[in-house]
Amino acid sequence: MTLPTSLDEAVAALAAMPAAVPVAGGTDLMSAVNSGLLRPAALVGLGRISEIRGWQYADGNALLGACLTHARMGRSDFAALIPALAMAARAAGPPQIRNAGTLGGNIANAAPTGDALPVLAALEATVVLAGPDGTREIPVGHLTAGHDPLRPGELLAYVRAPLLHAPQTFLKATTRTGPGRATASVALVLDPARRGVRCAIGAVAPMPLRPLEAERWVSGLIDWDGSRALEPEACTAFGDYAAMSCIPDPAEGELPLALAHLRRTVAALARRALERALS
Amino acid sequence: MGTQMRGTAAPGRTPTSLSRRSRTKGGIGESTLRPDGTLKVIGEFAYSSDLWHEDMLWGFTLRSPHPHARITSIDISKALAQAGVHAVLTHDDLPTAHTQYGLEYTDTPVLADGVVRHHGEPVALVAADHPETARRAAAKIKVDYEPLPVVHDEASALADDAPILHPNRDDHHAGHVPHPNIVHRQPIIRGNAAEAAKRADVIVTGEYEVGMQDQAFLGPESGLAVPAEDGGIDLYIATQWLHSDLRQIAPVLGLPEEKVRMTLSGVGGAFGGREDLSMQIHACLLALRTGKPVKIVYNRFESFFGHVHRHPAKLWYEHGATKDGKITHMKCRIVLDGGAYASSSPAVVGNASSLSVGPYVVDDVEIEALALYTNNPPCGAMRGFGAVQACFAYESQMDKLAEKLGMDPVEFRQKNAMSQGAIMPTGQIVDSPAPVAELLRLIKAMPLPPEKQWETARGAADVRALPGGLSNTTHGEGVVRGVGYAVGIKNVGFSEGFDDYSTARVQLQVIGGEPVATVHTAMAEVGQGGITVNAQIARTELGVTQVVIHPADTQVGSAGSTSASRQTYMTGGAVKNACEAIREKVLETGRRKFGTYHPAWATAELLLEDGKVVTDSDEPLADLVDVLGDEVIDIELQWRHRPTEAFDPVTGQGFGHVQYSFAAHRAVVEVDTELGLVKVIELACAQDVGKALNPLSVKGQIHGATVQGLGLAVMEEIIVAKDAKVCNPSFTDYLIPTILDTPAIPVEVLELADEHAPYGLRGIGEAPTLSSTPAVVAAIRAATGLPLVRVPVRPEHITGT
């Protein structure tokens, strides 16, 4: 285990030991170790790299350090910047998990139920990767989907997210009152500058899904210069449209009951997300 | 010199009713605080998983990945060859011909004997110098399995070509079961249900299903076995019943019982799940083989395979009633899935059948309950023990009947409620208070939580009070409230003729100028608060403040199980009984020493209070310190509740139960009808406790039982696939209620004494588990209008998709 104190040191340590696994909060990694699923040859601890534990402004965007904890993102000053990410962070787990678990870990782990992931998808955020040959920037989804995986010695350093200055929502379905694993989640952001509603559905597929047609349709209905209000029927239709595009009918036969329930859940969540964002 | 008496209790000793409240501080009726409470909250309590010994080895269990298979070969050579491994054991290495154990039937192999009958059955053991080494070595054991056809439900268990899971049964029920895959079947026939049905104006039938609940105790199975120089073994263990473990362990090890010395270690909850053995024999075998102390600790995953679960059940019911709301008859059939081994299934069947009517007067009944052998995980004891499943079904039926009759569900129940003197379907007369109608009245009279209780003063929604909670799912959208009621009946103590007793050894002596009582029992403190209560009883009976509770071990006689709501009744009763014998000795000594100085020694009724011998008119006669002097009074006595008898195998008639316990609940829920999410916001409970020895503990038991019932209603289920494999052995996938899921639980307690019980007390720990579940489901039905015949209720049952 090495404990570098700067990004450069961390990258150098990873480059020197390609089999080493970077660890931040350890909330996913250590449970995999404890249950015998993972036996990392070496660990590079990221906890002492202060440059990636906070955030900064950069050209109308926020540059979020990969080691920002869920607890930090859940605080009200952060919620004023990126409300949906704060809401997702607050629902991500119990306090012990939120105090340790990080934004970068949520992305690197790429669990289908990762709560930050649909928010980042709706925000169209990017990740800044630091490697031995310098940095590069790619959409979050390219990394999580494995299109463009981390290269040897490369480290997830920052997330670049736009500051939209408009309502955002995140909600998920769990059968617990406390934070629980989502059966489905919805992140929805308004982008008044681009006159768009962007929405991503989490937990129903290996990665967040964007109902692009539903977004375009509903964006066209909204009076962006006026009250932004929509009729309830339009919100319902948006929910159904989004749900249908994420969980389409099978080519043949009936939709299995479990999926029908999931679709209904997504429709209700998406409708409520839009209603709340527009209210 | 001490006087020591060992042996059985004087026959027919009736509990002495205290004519007035004792003045000794910390006696019964006070909420003295439990010594383990703060330690547990701050994380400093030492559980059995914290045990440590110099030079100890770690044991690990290799388990079957198949629910039913023949083992064709086991190759342990690679595991044995690994550095750090001290022993690898399979069935062939067992030291004696006694290779099976079991609570009621001796049918469970210590290690699989050529056949595995459920997913997760122990096949081999490894001892190594590090747990990780043991785990890796176990992975190197090569077991060849030949899968066998799987029995997973009633149809596959009783089919003509069904594999017989235990072909050579020699248990006491084997002779009268209709099929060898039926563990036990108990019919109960009373009156004439067919004839009575003719009087019914309405008849209501229903089929209900209860999922497999887990005890989900937080401290996983663990213990430490230390080999002793005399060839015996010292076992430090978390269990519910030391002597029952001992009876099963010793013959397998080939040791006499006195060479297996057991000491209770810190128990992290039990709820029935520690009544069966788990790693006890395994750790002892490894310790005896290696000559070194061996510790075994299950992790959460293994714990789901390491203990029995609550029986899943299918229940068919028919009730009839007249137009004016009187129940005419009841017929039911209850099928419990016992899984691969018997565990306590026979007794669970006895409970399910004898309590299947609920706390109602129904004279004409036709009842059948049975448990199956299948290849599903073994099921056995869990809080509520057969009464939980039945209560969900009969309370669902009560609501259905009331609705069909157009009656208020509470009034309908009250109209049919039993009271003292009522006759159970077994013919047993309920001979102590049974305030069923009153309990229902109490919960109905409590104020309801305000509408839209989630709205805060500032107008924002408190999501914690809404379905979906912190997930921010609803701020009130789609939310509908429902209210539901239920009441239940639970037996207390071991039934059906079981010789149920407890033992207490009490010493009284002067230490440092103060009289001190030492109470030694083998009662397992599993979190119920028994040690607190035992100390309170000793203070009350002996009038001393200082009471030392000796650690529970097998150096004293059996206390019986910490289950069946029985320990305060039984071990409390045994402590009281031993203290009374001590008191007689004290007074005898006092009369001898001081009798000539005061006539009251001979004439008055004498008590021990505040460290003194006093008369019943409060005149102090002598200090205990002076009476005792150097004498140590030391008495060990067994104590029994009144005897019960077995149910007739054909008619089910018999004085089967010791005592009954009653609780009622009102549930208030908010249901997100669009997402199918439920938030229980209040679960009001009323219970008759006979006498609250420790009111705070009583309330704690009621709260805990209520929440466990809530878990069964909407969250907790071990999912077993059709191929009999366990799908969700983790707390990520098996949901138990957390404090955020726990609603307000206002409690009303009645104290109507049962004259047969010590202090008139009633066993209380289980009854609220029963009624909580059907009350919650009734409330969800009220909110949604859906029939909901299965627990736990899942979101898809509510959204109808």
All residues of chain A having their beta carbon less than 8 Å from the beta carbon of residue B676 are: 261, 265
Confidence of residue B394 (pLDDT cuts 50, 70, 90): very high
- State residue B260's pLDDT score: 98
Confidence of residue B381 (pLDDT cuts 50, 70, 90): very high
Q: Mark the ranges of chain A whose per-residue pLDDT is less than 70.
A: none
| Contact assessment for residue B645 and residue B497, using Cβ atoms and an 8 Å cutoff | yes
Q: pLDDT tens digits for B778-797?
A: 999 999 999 999 999 999 99
- The CA distance from B706 to the nearest CA of chain A, in Å, is 17
Q: pLDDT tens digits for B118-153?
A: 999 999 999 999 999 999 999 999 999 999 999 999
Contact state of A272 with B473 under an 8 Å Cβ cutoff: yes
Taking the C-alpha atoms of residue B163 and residue B156, their distance in angstroms, rounded to an integer, is 9
CATH fit for domain B48-148+221-297, picks 3.30.750.24, 3.90.1170.50, 3.30.300.30, 3.30.1220.10: 3.90.1170.50
Contact state of A268 with B478 under an 8 Å Cβ cutoff: yes
Taking the C-alpha atoms of residue B730 and residue B299, their distance in angstroms, rounded to an integer, is 10
- State residue A34's pLDDT score: 83
Burial of A148 (0-12, 13-18, 19+ CB in 10 A): middle
Confidence of residue B40 (pLDDT cuts 50, 70, 90): very high
Closest CB to A268: pick one of B675, B741, B794.
Answer: B675
Closest C-alpha among B162, B145, B161, B144 to residue B153: B162
Above 50 in pLDDT, residue B8?
A: no
Residue B138, token pair as written in the block: 């176990």
| Contact assessment for residue B348 and residue B103, using Cβ atoms and an 8 Å cutoff | no
Amino acid, res. B512: G
Establish if B714 touches chain A: CB-CB under 8 angstroms: yes
Buried b (16+ CB within 10 A) or exposed e, B543-576: bbbbbebbebbbebbbbbbbbbbbbbbbbbbbbb
C-beta atoms surrounding B651 within 10 Å: 14
Above 60 in pLDDT, residue B9?
A: no
Report the alpha-carbon angle B137-B115-B182, nearest 5.
135
pTM over 0.80? The answer is yes
Q: Which of B462, B471, B799 to mutate to test the interface with A (most CBs of A within 10 A)?
A: B471
The CATH class that applies to domain B4-30+501-640 reads alpha beta
Closest C-alpha among B570, B422, B417, B420 to residue B493: B570
Span B600-611, mean pLDDT?
93
Amino acid, res. B632: V
Establish if B468 touches chain A: CB-CB under 8 angstroms: yes
- State residue B609's pLDDT score: 95
All residues of chain A having their beta carbon less than 8 Å from the beta carbon of residue B716 are: none
Total beta-carbon pairs less than 8 A apart between chain A and chain B: 94
Burial of A97 (0-12, 13-18, 19+ CB in 10 A): middle
Report the alpha-carbon angle A235-A269-B780, nearest 5.
115
- State residue B72's pLDDT score: 98
Query: Which chain B residue has its CA at the smallest distance from A236's CA?
Result: B674
Least confident of A33-42, A248-257, B219-228, B694-703: A33-42
Tell me which fold the domain A49-162 belongs to: 3.30.465
> Alpha helix locations (H) across B377-435?
387-405, 409-416
- State residue B458's pLDDT score: 86
Q: pLDDT tens digits for B153-205?
A: 999 999 999 999 999 999 999 999 999 999 999 999 999 999 999 999 999 99
Contact state of B472 with A87 under an 8 Å Cβ cutoff: yes
C-beta atoms surrounding A111 within 10 Å: 15
* B464 DSSP 8-state letter: G
All residues of chain B having their beta carbon less than 8 Å from the beta carbon of residue A28 are: none
Contact state of B469 with A268 under an 8 Å Cβ cutoff: no
Establish if B43 touches chain A: CB-CB under 8 angstroms: no
Confidence of residue B800 (pLDDT cuts 50, 70, 90): confident
Establish if B717 touches chain A: CB-CB under 8 angstroms: no
Span B281-299, mean pLDDT?
98
- State residue B7's pLDDT score: 39
Those of residues 470-499 in B touching chain A at CB distance below 8 A are: 470-475, 477-478
- The CA distance from B671 to the nearest CA of chain A, in Å, is 11
Q: pLDDT tens digits for B453-493?
A: 999 988 889 999 999 999 999 999 999 999 999 999 999 99
3-state SS assignment for residue B571: helix
Contact state of A276 with B478 under an 8 Å Cβ cutoff: no
Establish if B211 touches chain A: CB-CB under 8 angstroms: no
Report the alpha-carbon angle B558-B564-B570, nearest 5.
45
> First-to-last CA distance in chain A?
50
Closest CB to A171: pick one of B472, B714, B799.
Answer: B472
3-state SS assignment for residue B401: helix
Q: pLDDT tens digits for B342-359?
A: 999 999 999 999 999 999
Q: Which of A176, A235, A264, A266 to mutate to test the interface with B (most CBs of B within 10 A)?
A: A176
All residues of chain A having their beta carbon less than 8 Å from the beta carbon of residue B732 are: 181
Chain centroid to Cα B483, Å, comes to: 28
Q: Are strands A43-45 and A21-23 parallel, antiparallel or unpaired?
A: parallel
Taking the C-alpha atoms of residue B450 and residue A214, their distance in angstroms, rounded to an integer, is 39
Confidence of residue B21 (pLDDT cuts 50, 70, 90): low
Contact state of A180 with B799 under an 8 Å Cβ cutoff: no
What ipTM was predicted for this assembly? Answer: 0.92
Q: pLDDT tens digits for B313-372?
A: 999 999 999 999 999 999 999 999 999 999 999 999 999 999 999 999 999 999 999 999
Percentage of chain B surpassing pLDDT 70?
A: 97
Q: Which of B130, B133, B472 to mutate to test the interface with A (most CBs of A within 10 A)?
A: B472
- The CA distance from B133 to the nearest CA of chain A, in Å, is 12
| Contact assessment for residue B112 and residue B121, using Cβ atoms and an 8 Å cutoff | yes
C-beta atoms surrounding A225 within 10 Å: 8
- The CA distance from A5 to the nearest CA of chain B, in Å, is 32
| Contact assessment for residue B177 and residue B183, using Cβ atoms and an 8 Å cutoff | yes
Contact state of A177 with B464 under an 8 Å Cβ cutoff: yes
Query: Which chain B residue has its CA at the smallest distance from A257's CA?
Result: B801
Taking the C-alpha atoms of residue A161 and residue A182, their distance in angstroms, rounded to an integer, is 23
Closest CB to A171: pick one of B471, B732, B796.
Answer: B471
C-beta atoms surrounding B21 within 10 Å: 10
Backbone phi, then psi, for B357, in 5-degree steps?
Answer: -80, -25
Report the alpha-carbon angle B222-B52-B272, nearest 5.
20
Backbone dihedral region of B221: left (phi > 0), alpha (psi from -120 to 50 degrees) or beta?
beta
Domain ranges of chain A: 49-162, 169-278
- State residue B22's pLDDT score: 61
Contact state of A172 with B679 under an 8 Å Cβ cutoff: no
Domains B4-30+501-640 and B48-148+221-297 share a fold: no
C-beta atoms surrounding B641 within 10 Å: 21
All residues of chain A having their beta carbon less than 8 Å from the beta carbon of residue B712 are: none
Closest C-alpha among B217, B220, B215, B216 to residue B51: B220
3-state SS assignment for residue B781: helix
* B749 DSSP 8-state letter: E
Residue B407, token pair as written in the block: 């009656």
Domain ranges of chain B: 4-30+501-640, 48-148+221-297
Closest C-alpha among B426, B428, B192 to residue B329: B192
Interface of A with B (CB under 8 A): 34-36, 87, 90-91, 169-183, 185, 257-258, 260-261, 263-265, 268-269, 272, 275-276
- State residue B669's pLDDT score: 98
Contact state of A175 with B301 under an 8 Å Cβ cutoff: no
Query: Which chain A residue has its CA at the smallest distance from B476's CA?
Result: A272
CATH number of A169-278: 3.30.390.50
